[in-house]
A = this chain, B = another copy of it.
Amino acid sequence: MLSGDLAFVWADELLEGASDDPATMARARQVFTTLRTEVIAGQYLDLELGGDTGAVEDDALHVALLKSARYTVTRPLLLGASLAPESGGRRVVGVLRAYGDAVGLAFQLRDDILGLFGDPAVTGKSCLDDLREGKRTVLVLRALRLATPAGQALLERSLGDPDLDEAGADRCREVVASSGALASIETLLALRHARAVRAIDRLDEPARGALGQLAALAIDRQG
A residues in contact (CB < 8 Å) with B? 1-2, 4-6, 8-9, 12-13, 16, 22, 25-26, 29, 33, 36-37, 40, 43-44, 47
Contacts and interface: CB of A to CB of B under 8 A. Distances in A.
Contacts of A12: 12, 29, 33
A193 to B, nearest CB: 32
Contacts of A37: 6, 9
Contacts of A43: 2
B9 A36 contact: yes
A42 to B, nearest CB: 10
The oligomer's copy count stands at: 2
Given A2-B43, A22-B22, A40-B2, A33 B13 contact: yes
A62 to B, nearest CB: 16
A185 to B, nearest CB: 28
A37 B3 CA distance: 11
A25 to B, nearest CB: 8
Contact of A5 (B8, B26, B33): B8
A40 B8 CA distance: 11
A9 B33 contact: yes
A31 to B, nearest CB: 12
Contacts of A40: 2, 5-6, 9
Contacts of A29: 12, 16
A199 to B, nearest CB: 28
Nearest to A25: B22
Contacts of A47: 2
A37 to B, nearest CB: 6
